[in-house]
Homo-oligomer: A and B are copies of this chain.
Amino acid sequence: MNGLKVLFHINELSRWQIVLGNITNLLNDVGQDNAHIEVVINGEAVSIFKDKCKQVESGNLCSISSNLSLLEQMEKLSKVGVKFVACRNALKAQLIDEESLPDFVTVVPAGITEIVRKQAEGYAYIKP
């Protein structure tokens, strides 16, 4: 497998725009055929996938519009090969049904294990 191997770790909801911007800059710099990018999502960062109406009702800072914008950016990035991997422990803690996740998200039993394994495969680790 040629190309740069890069793992982004996000565990704070407030860092999504920064992570997606970092990925976009990386792809613009090296070209989408030259990078293998995976985003491992754990902790409260998985709440980006919560039902948006529920979030607004509960006064969550994530409004429908901003969440949709982030999810749209994620979907676009997934179409050029970026993988989004969510931690099952975090989904359970945030009461998020796996069935409700966007199609481009895959689930692993533990996000931390995924991060460790990817580094062992030569992926660079970045925590934006």
Chain A residues with a Cβ under 8 A of chain B: 4-6, 9, 11, 18, 22-23, 25-26, 28-30, 42-43, 87, 89, 109-113, 115-117, 119-120, 122, 124-128
Chain B residue numbers with a CB within 8 Å of A127 are 9, 127
Q: Copies per complex? A: 3
Q: Are B124 and A116 in contact (CB under 8 A)?
A: yes
Prevailing SS type, chain A contact patch:
helix
Chain B residue numbers with a CB within 8 Å of A28 are 110
Q: Are B115 and A124 in contact (CB under 8 A)?
A: yes
A4 touching B116 in the complex, CB below 8 Å, given contacts A28-B110, A89-B25, A110-B25:
yes
Chain B residue numbers with a CB within 8 Å of A119 are 124-125
